[in-house]
Amino acid sequence: MKLLAFNGSPRKKWNTATLLWHAMEGAESEGAETELFHLYDFDYKGCTSCFACKRIGGKSYGRCPVKDDLKPIFREVEKADAILVGSPIYFGATTGETRCFLERLAFQYSVYDPPRSTLFPGKIRTGFIYTAGAPDAMVKEMGFDRFTGLTEMAMARIFGSCESLWVTDTYQFTDYSKYMSTLFDPVAKKKHREENFPRDCEKAFGLGARLVRGGR
């Protein structure tokens, strides 16, 4: 069993990355191998709308033809038992790097036919971890989860299943006095992190374990 984790945050040691590490530990507790990719380390763009992956009889049918840093990663995904994508929420959506990755990953396997078939070889489990500086009530009020839910539906259709974990009211920086951030109460933020983030890490551990339990 193998789980591939993708960090869509520009930070490698903060909220999103920390939760992904705990999810990987959860997968490893079930006997799985894990590997973490930091998306900001790679050179790639979003879908170029060339439609080569849809051309009947074409040499790239069902495969993204773009030759960049994502090409070998897609081959690794096809050999994995589960994938987990983590991203902060910026202006109500995942980061640009995350979105570009998901466009390229999913579109190549999605078929334009009435049953909305998939060309992905087999079924694997997929998951998302979202981190947001906004509190949970604001996430729901502003509909951030509805936007990400559309992507989750597509992932479930193409790959087999999808589940997500939201971690809200996160700590953006350790010293709020150094940044213009009067929207937030730093004392409340600190208290929330101390009381809730350890539990969120436990939830991430459980998510990682579930994604690999039983294999494909």
Would you state the pLDDT for residue 216?
57
The dotted CATH code for 2-212 is 3.40.50.360
Structure tokens at 6: 């993708």
- Per-residue pLDDT reduced to its tens digit, 98-134: 999 999 999 999 999 999 999 999 999 999 999 998 8
Predicted TM-score (pTM) of the model is 0.92
pLDDT band at 215 (very low <50, low <70, confident <90, very high): low
| 164 band by pLDDT with thresholds 50, 70 and 90 | very high
Q: Provide the pLDDT for residue 103.
A: 96
Residue in 129, 32, 52 with CA at minimum distance from that of residue 84: 129
Look at residues 6, 68, 71 and name the one whose alpha carbon lies nearest to residue 35: 6
Burial of residue 5 (number of CB atoms within 10 Å: 0-12, 13-18, 19+): buried
Cα 47 to chain centroid distance, Å, stands at: 17
Percent of the chain exceeding pLDDT 70 equals 99
Rounded to whole angstroms, the Cα distance separating 123 from 145 reads 25
Q: Domain ranges for the chain, please list them.
A: 2-212
pLDDT for 56-94, tens place per residue?
Answer: 999 999 999 999 999 999 999 999 999 999 999 998 889
Whether the pLDDT of residue 176 is over 60: the answer is yes
